[in-house]
Structure 1
Amino acid sequence: MTYFIKMENITVVDTRPTTMMIKYHIVNSMPYRKFLAFSEDEYDISNQKIVFVCSRGHKSYRLAEIFSRKTGLTTYSLDGGLTKFRRFYSDFVLIGGKNR
């Protein structure tokens, strides 16, 4: 199943295990490790909304907090993770693709 987050100027950082990222992929998201390398390069991410996601919200909250402290950038985490986000903010999410 594939998810599309409909927002502009957003960087979605997926902190879920690889198997979950593959099974429930978020289009234009990037794995946490790739994001760390991306953010250390010369790219300007200061104008982006940086949203850390995981299944229930605990891991993404901690990683967003650490990244924000180190960089001084504002970061976001989904309270309740992707499960709660899909339930309450379905207008931001398009669901497509097939279950594997």
Structure 2
Amino acid sequence: MNQPAEVFQPLQDDDPRAVAGYRLAARLGPGATYETCRQLTSETEASHKLLLADKAAGSEICVKHRNGDIALMVIETKSTAMPDIGFVASDLTVWPAEKN
């Protein structure tokens, strides 16, 4: 993989080593790019659920739509302490799927 070294951070002692059967190799640090998200989402067609309660403000999440669009979601603000009135505010960058 040819990602910039500063984008990936080592797992911390209290980080899980696997989630839903998927091995975790590193944390996605600040500064994710299209290329980073493209590589991270190219391995699977599976759908994954993500718990936002354990994500902090500033967390970056790469996603891929079934039409091939790739997006980077950055959590700006979140409130999940009271689930009935919880909310998430985020910044979303979308790169349209490449057309052949």
TM-score scaled by length of structure 2: 0.30
Q: Which has the higher strand share?
A: 2
- Structure number with greater CO (CA < 8 Å, separation at least 6) is 1
